[in-house]
Amino acid sequence: MVRAESLNDRLRRFAARLHSEFGVEHVLVFGSTARGGRLKDSDVDLIIVSDSFAGLSVPERQGMVQRFWDGPEELQALTYTPDEFNEISKRSTAQQILSYALDIAPPKGSICPRCGRAGSPQIKKIKKRSGKNYPYLYYAHYKNGRVEWCYIGREYNIDIKPNKSVEGEGKRRKEFKA
């Protein structure tokens, strides 16, 4: 019996295709799919960041992305260059979205300083203290269709000690205390 391909499998294959074709930096899943509240007829919300989008109109970018999507779900993709994404991510609405978004882009060969495995560095939270924004860095590790998170801290070079391990929403996240 052949197992039907899951949405996670289709999304990972889609992200790998985009990565090999356009060298995408991020493929962020957000909305009900990322929160785990997806209904049968829900669309898939993505933010795709690539240098290849520079100089192209929004419809041209959408066309580039849509031709690689072969799933039955409707795809709603927001496409940005890295500069556009950095500018947009400063907005409070974008920070809310990014707080639960999952980056499914293939790892770029960077090594997690916490565990030594290949991973994809991501900023998962931004906390505001004393008028300054403090980004919290995590590394995403992809294994058997699941994402494991390593919390790194606010900087690369701080001493971090393990605190506890948390299970939640289909992903394991190791939290560390600075």
Residues 138 and 119 in one domain: yes
DSSP string, 32-97: HHHHT---TT--EEEEEE-GGGTT--HHHHHHHHHTT--SSS-EEEEEE-HHHHHHHTTSHHHHHH
The alpha carbon dihedral of 6, 8, 11, 17 has a sign of: negative
Tell me, what amino acid is at 115? Answer: C
Rounded to whole angstroms, the Cα distance separating 119 from 108 reads: 7
Rounded to 5 degrees, what are φ and ψ at 144? 50, 45
- The mean pLDDT of the chain is 74
pLDDT at position 166 is 37
**Domain boundary pick from 51, 73, 106:** 106
**Domain boundary pick from 106, 138, 163:** 106
Q: What is the DSSP pairing of strand 26-30 with strand 102-103?
A: antiparallel
Parts of the chain with a pLDDT under 50: 1-2, 155-178
Tens-place pLDDT, residues 13-65 = 888 788 767 778 888 898 888 878 888 888 899 999 988 999 999 999 999 89
Which is nearest to 26 in space by CA: 60, 64, 52?
Answer: 52
**Please, are residues 114 and 79 in contact by the beta-carbon 8 Å criterion?**
no
**Please, are residues 49 and 24 in contact by the beta-carbon 8 Å criterion?**
yes
Residues 83 and 116 in one domain: no
Alpha-carbon Rg for the chain in angstroms:
17
**Domain boundary pick from 71, 106, 141:** 106
**Please, are residues 114 and 152 in contact by the beta-carbon 8 Å criterion?**
yes
Rounded to whole angstroms, the Cα distance separating 66 from 38 reads: 21
Residues 76 and 115 in one domain: no
Find tokens 């989008």 and name the residue: 53
* Total domains in the fold of the chain: 2
Rounded to whole angstroms, the Cα distance separating 108 from 120 reads: 6
Q: Which domain holds residue 154?
A: 107-178
Q: Which two tokens stand for residue 78?
A: 């927001």
pLDDT at position 148 is 77
Residues 99 and 117 in one domain: no
pLDDT at position 109 is 54
pTM of the model: 0.59
